[in-house]
């Protein structure tokens, strides 16, 4: 007996990296036995900011699906689907749009922050309305849990408000989702930036080969005060130490005094980290190889997952239409 249905996913904007793994993928793999996860590849949401360059989308949808399978998401347990291929989500978005005011969206703090980040003087209708579309993503399959970081809780609160409004206006057919706030870790970039991000070029990708991982860690920023081998180190300002804490936790207690007394050099410290990260990625490479050898298999998994998602969507939409009394015939 599963504990409930989870909705989670990503915007397909390129290869997934260790930041994604630590932030959510690791959790999803763990949760897939206990829960019924619906994992959305949110291509429509990707278009809210990339509508002028849709050509990358096909490749990125495939890439994200391949990354999901490589980390160990099991298509027998997790419903992996493509957002734009479930038209009921767009239909539900339209219905929700009837009772959400423009002012509520304009004052949404996340929208305001992101518009600033993208440098938007004016916002497209699609961008302004993406929280409504997100509420449809969550509710079309009646997900009762959405794993998020603390900063994303307002999104879930907004979806809950939409559900309550709909259920009051028409009939109680929708499920109010709960935020499953976990320890969503944020991983620093190899350049020491607070966030690992493709746009900053500071990522270790899940598909990186051992040699690439070695080169990236070799170039990673360490304690700037440790210029020579016998300089004393300050692990708290070192990117490599931050990675050891996440990927090699059993070593950090020993590493700290060694670094502070120059008992270990940065080269050796980086070698140990490289070995740990490559050991983590190795089974992912093995799983990935199976899908690279049969690229049609990824398509088949997406088609089957999307069909499962559509079946859930059709069921919800029949109830929604009946509740709204637009089930004419």
Applying CB under 6 A, the residues found at the interface with ligand SF4 are 222-223, 226, 233, 235, 238, 240-241, 259, 264, 266, 269-270
Closer of 214 and 223 to ligand SF4 (Cβ): 223
Least distance to ligand SF4, CB of residue 222, Å:
4
Least distance to ligand SF4, CB of residue 202, Å:
16
Closer of 105 and 255 to ligand SF4 (Cβ): 255
Least distance to ligand SF4, CB of residue 285, Å:
25
Closer of 124 and 261 to ligand SF4 (Cβ): 261
Least distance to ligand SF4, CB of residue 15, Å:
26
Q: Can you give the three-state secondary structure of 223-259, one letter per residue?
A: CCCCCCCCCCCCHHHCHHHHHHHHHCHHHHHHHHHHH
Please, what is the angle between helix 87-97 and helix 153-169, to 10°?
70
Least distance to ligand SF4, CB of residue 238, Å:
3
**Residues whose CB is less than 8 angstroms from the CB of residue 101 and which lie 6 or more positions away in sequence, other chains included:** none
Report the candidate in 1, 2, 31 with the shortest Cα–Cα distance to residue 184: 31
**Residues whose CB is less than 8 angstroms from the CB of residue 232 and which lie 6 or more positions away in sequence, other chains included:** 225, 226, 260, 261, 262
Least distance to ligand SF4, CB of residue 190, Å:
12
Closer of 15 and 256 to ligand SF4 (Cβ): 256
Residue 236 CB-density burial (10 A; 0-12 exposed, 13-18 middle, 19+ buried): exposed
Least distance to ligand SF4, CB of residue 221, Å:
9
Report the candidate in 123, 47, 119 with the shortest Cα–Cα distance to residue 82: 47
- Which residues on adjacent β-strands are paired with residue 36? 5
Closer of 127 and 241 to ligand SF4 (Cβ): 241
Closer of 207 and 264 to ligand SF4 (Cβ): 264
User: Residue 218 is encoded by which pair of tokens?
Assistant: 């070799």
Closer of 89 and 255 to ligand SF4 (Cβ): 255
Least distance to ligand SF4, CB of residue 207, Å:
25
Contact between residue 137 and residue 85 where contact means Cβ atoms under 8 Å apart: no
Contact between residue 187 and residue 197 where contact means Cβ atoms under 8 Å apart: no
Least distance to ligand SF4, CB of residue 278, Å:
17
Closer of 182 and 192 to ligand SF4 (Cβ): 192
Closer of 264 and 324 to ligand SF4 (Cβ): 264
């Amino acid at each position: 007996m599963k504990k409930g249905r989870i909705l989670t996913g990503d915007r397909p904007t390129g290869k997934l990296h260790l930041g994604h793994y630590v932030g959510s993928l690791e959790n999803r793999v763990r949760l897939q036995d206990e829960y019924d996860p619906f994992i959305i590849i949110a291509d429509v949401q990707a278009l809210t900011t990339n509508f002028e360059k849709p050509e990358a989308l096909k490749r990125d949808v495939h890439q994200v699906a391949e990354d999901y399978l490589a980390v160990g998401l099991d298509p027998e347990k997790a419903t992996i689907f493509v957002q734009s291929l479930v038209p009921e989500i767009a239909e539900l978005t339209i219905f929700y749009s009837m009772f959400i005011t423009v002012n509520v969206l304009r004052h949404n703090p996340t929208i305001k922050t992101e518009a600033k980040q993208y440098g938007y003087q004016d916002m497209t209708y699609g961008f302004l309305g993406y929280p409504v579309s997100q509420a449809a993503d969550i509710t079309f399959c009646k997900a009762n849990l959405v794993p998020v970081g603390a900063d994303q809780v307002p999104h879930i609160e907004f979806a809950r408000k939409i559900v309550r409004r709909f259920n009051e206006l028409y009939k109680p057919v929708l499920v109010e989702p709960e935020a499953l706030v976990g320890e969503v870790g944020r991983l620093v970039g190899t350049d020491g930036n607070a966030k690992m991000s493709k746009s900053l070029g500071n990522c270790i990708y899940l598909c990186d080969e051992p040699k690439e991982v070695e080169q990236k860690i070799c170039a990673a920023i360490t304690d700037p005060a440790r210029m020579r081998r016998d300089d004393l180190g300050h692990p708290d300002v070192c990117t490599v130490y931050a990675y050891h804490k996440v990927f090699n936790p059993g070593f950090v207690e020993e590493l700290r005094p060694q670094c502070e007394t120059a008992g270990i050099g940065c080269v050796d410290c980086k070698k140990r980290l490289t070995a740990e990260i490559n050991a983590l990625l190795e089974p992912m490479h093995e799983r990935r190889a199976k899908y690279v050898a049969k690229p049609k298999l990824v398509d088949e998994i997406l088609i089957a997952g999307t069909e499962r998602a559509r079946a859930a969507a059709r069921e919800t939409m029949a109830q929604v239409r009946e509740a709204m009394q637009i089930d004419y015939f």
